[in-house]
Amino acid sequence: MSKNYFINAMGCVSPQNSLDNNNFLTEIKEAQIDRLACFEPNYRDLINPRILRRMDRVSRMTIFAASLCLQESGEVEMDAILTGTGLGFMFNTTVFLKNIIESGDSLVSPTTFIQSTHNSAGGIIARMLNSNKYNFTYVHRGFSFESALLDAMLHLEEGCQNVLVGAFDEITEEYIKVMNRLQSLKRLDKDQSTQFLDASIRAIWGESAAFFTLGANQTEKTYAKIKEMKMVFSNGTNESIKPEIELFLEENGLKIEDIDLVLSGIDGNPMTRKNYLDLHESLLPNNDMASFKNLCGEHKTASSFALWMAAQILHKQFIPEVSKLNFKETKAKINNVLIYNNYNNINQSLILLEHV
């Protein structure tokens, strides 16, 4: 049974220029008011216009990210295609809803409906690759990408050689309006420390699409190795995740001090910020820590951007200044990176990576 999950290729479309994996966050794009929108490529560079014609923006981002990853993978056959998305095709969904609300009894165009199905990106990738392999889409909030990743890891354990796994979520005008209204309802906790991220206490909404080739074997292109991943579902109680993290590390033969970098999902979101800070202070006060949501914004599949970032950090042995939160001393070598993400205090996830 394989317990090695090698990240052998990646493709990422994000608010940063993440299109070329040879460069790693050399220029940083900052948030516009309340959002970090994707830095969009020229989609025609990699996507056939015939495939492109029915795609909305998030499909384009997604298929472009998948194509970047596949291009980097070369002639590798994928034994499974796994995607995750928290909200799927919000833009198409909204357009179709609008059409049926406003149409009266006249005919409605079906295209936005058929393209609103959460698994349509997985379907497009299958058609692009002419692949009839296993093809699943996970749609569970802050576990959407993690579930796809679990399925990918399971496939390698079952004997598959290479699988394509990725995630996507988009921001739309309507989405931002709803999220800002929701956020303004949450009262800010006055005791919150401003030790990390001195930006005003509010979330910056974001989006991304990131894909990975996970292989059972190391190649010359391998970025990093995933050691293990864990999802912790809490019932909305403020129960600490500390024991879960300790157990997780123990199961992987590590102690807290072996973690060279914690990539934390903390942002200005008042709902989760206090729990992040409590955890940082109680468990990880001596660990070097970096953030990723100041680069990709908050979204249900932000952890897929974090995985891209962690793999790059391990591969390039470089941590972008802008993401550093709490640095005691810069380690000579970064061996172990732990991604910790907390979605609404209900979906918390841990991804442990190792340098190869």
Tokens of 307: 């995985």
Sites for other proteins among residues 223-282 (CB under 8 A): 231, 233-236
Q: Would you say 121 and 62 are in contact if contact means Cβ atoms under 8 Å apart?
A: yes
**Looking at 33-41, 52-60, 203-211, 310-318, which segment touches other proteins (CB under 8 A)?**
52-60
Tell me whether residue 227 or residue 300 sits nearer to other proteins (CB atom): 300
Q: CA 28, CA 77: separation in Å to the nearest integer?
A: 34
Residue 106 found at the interface with other proteins (CB under 8 A): yes
**β-bridge mates for residue 324, sequence order:** 290
**Looking at 11-19, 180-188, 192-200, 276-284, which segment touches other proteins (CB under 8 A)?**
180-188
Q: CA 61, CA 305: separation in Å to the nearest integer?
A: 13
Q: CA 102, CA 96: separation in Å to the nearest integer?
A: 10
Quote the least distance from Cβ 285 to other proteins, whole Å: 28
Helices (H), 161-225: 173-185
Which residue is associated with the tokens 């042995």?
A: 317
Tell me whether residue 169 or residue 288 sits nearer to other proteins (CB atom): 169
Sites for other proteins among residues 291-310 (CB under 8 A): 300
Tell me whether residue 13 or residue 55 sits nearer to other proteins (CB atom): 55
Residue 101 found at the interface with other proteins (CB under 8 A): yes
Q: CA 135, CA 124: separation in Å to the nearest integer?
A: 11
The single residue among 62, 120, 208, 345 that binds other proteins, judged by CB under 8 A, is: 120
Residue 52 found at the interface with other proteins (CB under 8 A): yes
**Looking at 181-189, 220-228, 281-289, 309-317, which segment touches other proteins (CB under 8 A)?**
181-189
Quote the least distance from Cβ 124 to other proteins, whole Å: 8
* CA 339 to chain centroid: 11
Tokens of 314: 């391990």
